[in-house]
């Protein structure tokens, strides 16, 4: 497995692959890799001749400096995991390599990028579009793999790809969970053992809400009340939305697919956790 740090090196290596007619899969990550990331890499390795995994803690998508500061950094262990998965290339650039000058580009895909995470983390999706568009430009992948763990992010990236008419297949991959049901996340390492137990209630309650047979607003209230009743958990938002546009739905029949997206603060620090459930 090759580890490259510069864009020039990455492009040269990929050129060599392309002249041989090899297909390229890209898995963008911010490092601190776990089984969730590995599932994306495994899938890409199966579907492409060459898999490039980028490891870059992108500062422009962090609206909260403290969140960026405490984000775990584990490059060596990440590379060991990627080697086991069979990835061919790791791209781990510095911030200066990616942003020699501040990126002033503005991306806007409402309501997809303006609701939920877009509303509570201003500038977050603009930063995501900045980095993902740069990575697409450097790598020119045939396919790019993203986890449904970040459900809204996939919807925003799909919109961006449609907007620019890029010939890149976006491959959504299912959420990988711990045995308790908690969605695997790099931020989980910041939780104590007790907080991890608490956090597992989020998916339990979301799953229960699928079987309620109640209206959208009753289902919404059930989830928020149940989670907020647990000491140490506090819902920031829970939105039941059209699974494609992310516009709010008033009834289950308002959209072809309906998804509930939630963000919960957990524990003393507190750590911000996101999850979602598909209702239809
Ligand atoms: P991140 O490093 O958090 O930016 O994540 C990189 C990619 O891995 C994103 O597409 C995430 O959605 C995906 N990912 C993170 N956690 C999981 C998980 N538990 N299951 C599936 N995909 C995940």
Rounded Cα distance, 216 and 260, in Å: 10
Is the distance from CB of 37 to CB of 65 less than 8 angstroms?
A: no
Is the distance from CB of 153 to CB of 232 less than 8 angstroms?
A: no
User: Residues near ligand 1 with C-beta < 6 Å?
Assistant: 29-30, 36-37, 39-40, 146-147, 149-150, 173, 175-176, 183-186
If asked whether residues 27 and 115 sit together in one domain, one would say yes
If asked whether residues 235 and 102 sit together in one domain, one would say no
SS3 246: coil
Of the three residues 107, 138, 173, the one that is the final residue of a domain is 173
SS3 231: coil
Show the low-confidence residues of the chain (pLDDT under 70): none
* Residue-level pLDDT at 134: 98
Would you name the residues annotated as active-site residues?
A: 37
* Residue-level pLDDT at 272: 94
If asked whether residues 18 and 119 sit together in one domain, one would say yes
Question: 117 forms bridges with which residues in the sheet?
Answer: none
If asked whether residues 190 and 248 sit together in one domain, one would say yes
* Residue-level pLDDT at 82: 98
* Residue-level pLDDT at 125: 98
* Residue in 57, 75, 130, 149 to alter for ligand 1 test, most ligand atoms within 8 A of Cβ: 149
If asked whether residues 36 and 132 sit together in one domain, one would say yes
Q: Which atom of ligand 1 is nearest to the CA of 150?
A: 12
The CATH number given to whatever domain includes residue 76 is 3.40.50.620
* Residue-level pLDDT at 148: 97
Question: 248 forms bridges with which residues in the sheet?
Answer: 241
| Distance of CA 184 from the midpoint of ligand 1 (Å) | 8
CA 8 centroid distance within chain: 27
Q: How does strand 50-55 pair with strand 169-173?
A: unpaired
If asked whether residues 233 and 163 sit together in one domain, one would say no
* Residue in 147, 151, 178, 182 to alter for ligand 1 test, most ligand atoms within 8 A of Cβ: 147
SS3 100: coil
For residue 63, give both structure tokens. Answer: 């609206």
* Residue in 26, 29, 117, 203 to alter for ligand 1 test, most ligand atoms within 8 A of Cβ: 29
What is the number of alpha carbons within 13 Å of residue 145 lying toward its C-beta? Answer: 25
The pTM (predicted TM-score) of the whole model is: 0.96
Question: Left (φ > 0), alpha (ψ -120 to 50) or beta: where does 174 sit?
Answer: beta
Residue 134 lies in a domain: yes
Domain span holding position 99: 2-173
| Distance of CA 36 from the midpoint of ligand 1 (Å) | 6
If asked whether residues 86 and 140 sit together in one domain, one would say yes
If asked whether residues 18 and 126 sit together in one domain, one would say yes
| Distance of CA 37 from the midpoint of ligand 1 (Å) | 5
Rounded Cα distance, 154 and 221, in Å: 26
If asked whether residues 162 and 202 sit together in one domain, one would say no
Rounded Cα distance, 83 and 226, in Å: 42
pLDDT tens figures, 24-50 = 999 999 999 999 999 999 999 999 999
The domain total for the chain is 2
Number of neighbours of residue 231 by Cβ within 10 angstroms: 7
If asked whether residues 90 and 190 sit together in one domain, one would say no
């Amino acid at each position: 497995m090759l580890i490259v740090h510069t864009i020039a090196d990455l492009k040269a290596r990929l050129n060599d692959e392309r002249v041989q007619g090899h297909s390229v899969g890209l898995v963008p990550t911010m490092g601190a890799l776990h089984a969730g990331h590995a599932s994306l890499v495994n899938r890409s390795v199966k579907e492409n001749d060459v898999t490039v995994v980028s490891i870059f803690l992108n500062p422009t998508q962090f609206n909260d400096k403290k969140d960026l500061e405490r984000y775990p950094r584990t490059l060596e262990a990440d590379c060991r995991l990627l080697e086991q998965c069979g990835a061919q290339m790791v791209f781990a650039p510095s911030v200066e390599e990616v942003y020699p000058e501040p990126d002033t580009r503005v991306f806007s895909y409402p309501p997809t990028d303006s609701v939920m995470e877009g509303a509570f983390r201003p500038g977050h999706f603009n930063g995501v579009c900045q980095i993902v568009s740069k990575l697409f430009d450097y790598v020119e992948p045939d396919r790019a793999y993203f986890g449904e763990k970040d459900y809204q992010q996939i919807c925003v990236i799909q919109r961006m790809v449609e907007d620019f008419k890029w010939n890149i297949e976006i491959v959504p991959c299912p959420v990988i969970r711990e045995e308790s049901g908690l969605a695997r996340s790099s931020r989980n390492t910041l939780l104590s053992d007790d907080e991890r137990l608490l956090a597992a209630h989020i998916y339990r309650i979301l799953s229960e809400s699928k079987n309620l047979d109640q209206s959208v607003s009753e289902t919404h209230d059930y989830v928020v009340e149940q989670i907020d009743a647990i000491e140490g958990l506090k819902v920031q938002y829970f939105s039941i939305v059209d699974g494609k546009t992310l516009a709010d739905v008033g009834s289950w029949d308002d959209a072809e697919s309906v998804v509930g997206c939630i963000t919960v603060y957990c524990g003393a620090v507190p750590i911000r956790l996101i999850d979602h459930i598909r209702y239809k």
